[in-house]
Amino acid sequence: MPTASNVDDGCAPEFPAASLGFIGVGTIASAIVKGLCTCDTPPAKVYLSPRNAAKAKALADLFPGIVEVMPDSQAVLDACHWVFLSTKPGDDAMREIYTDLNFKEGHVVVCLVAGTATSTIKEVVAPATRVVQAFPLPPAEIHKSTTPMCPPDAGVEAMFSKLGKVIAVETPKEMMTIGMAGCLQGDYYKSMVTMHRFYVANGIDPEKAAQAISSYHDTFNTAALLAGADGFEHLVDEQTPGGMNERIIRELENGGNYANLTVAMKHLLPKLVGE
């Protein structure tokens, strides 16, 4: 069985020289593996736990010679330099899954588990001390993720930069507050579903409707990416007074849509930070 050379003495190499290990192979982990294995500097080796065996096998079949499915989670730890934790959220689940595993002092630990206190993560991965929390999204697969992470770590940030935009912050609460935007992707897609159904109900070809909606959102985002520190108020203010855009905003605002969004985020934040 392969072993992680130089991990015990705290000299784990940086990406892409480091071998990577994943405990838990769900949607996010799969996207990261696909994104890293197709970037300009792919990792030499990726070890996967057999959790979610079908996804793990699919990745091994897709990237033969790079990705290998190990017999259990401890085998992943024994083989890799960097280990990604990608399992169920919450402190209880974290302790249940990881307490009996043997981490090494030299492991670089990248935790992708939401709703878990930083103190709990550090507790279960001891004696490893280089611990980073990060929350990439499925578009990591095509190098288009936005990934908040903390604390800042130049090596881990360089790796995630292969998968899209990285926002490194100092505290878990900053990271989770920023990362809350990722929890709005379902709402984003639900809005697109609503538009698509409306288009089709009004006689638009379903394929053309989907193309138009996705393309319009891409167009809107072009302006948003240029917003900078001033935020987005000016993009709303630029809408023509009395025009169609303003009418949509007014009707949604009168219906409580934006106020409800604020309430939903307020309720979600404590869960994200593990309070």
Q: Are 125 and 131 in contact (CB under 8 A)?
A: yes
**Residue 131: C-alpha distances to residues 128, 187, 206, 258, 266 (Å):** 7, 31, 46, 36, 27
Question: In terms of residue numbers, what domain contains 193?
Answer: 183-272
Instruction: Identify the pLDDT of residue 275.
Output: 65
Instruction: Identify the pLDDT of residue 173.
Output: 87
Instruction: Identify the pLDDT of residue 270.
Output: 84
Residues 31 and 135 in one domain: yes
Residues 264 and 151 in one domain: no
Residues 96 and 37 in one domain: yes
Instruction: Identify the pLDDT of residue 185.
Output: 85
Q: Per DSSP, what are the bridge partners of residue 269?
A: none
Q: Cα 219 vs. chain centroid, distance in angstroms?
A: 23
- Distance (Å, rounded) from C-alpha 104 to C-alpha 85? 14
In a domain, 225, yes or no: yes
Q: Are 113 and 26 in contact (CB under 8 A)?
A: no
Q: Are 31 and 51 in contact (CB under 8 A)?
A: no
Looking only at Cα atoms, what is the longest distance across the chain? 69
Residues 28 and 116 in one domain: yes
Instruction: Identify the pLDDT of residue 52.
Output: 87
Domain boundary residue, one of 131, 147, 169 = 169
Instruction: Identify the pLDDT of residue 9.
Output: 54
In a domain, 11, yes or no: no
Instruction: Identify the pLDDT of residue 145.
Output: 94
Instruction: Identify the pLDDT of residue 73.
Output: 95
- Distance (Å, rounded) from C-alpha 213 to C-alpha 57? 35
Q: What is the CATH number of the domain that holds 86?
A: 3.40.50.720
How crowded is residue 146: how many other Cβ atoms within 10 Å of its Cβ? Answer: 19
Number of domains in the chain: 2
Q: What is the CATH number of the domain that holds 262?
A: 1.10.3730
In a domain, 7, yes or no: no
Give me the residues of the chain with pLDDT under 50, please: 1-6
Instruction: Identify the pLDDT of residue 39.
Output: 95
Residues 132 and 154 in one domain: yes
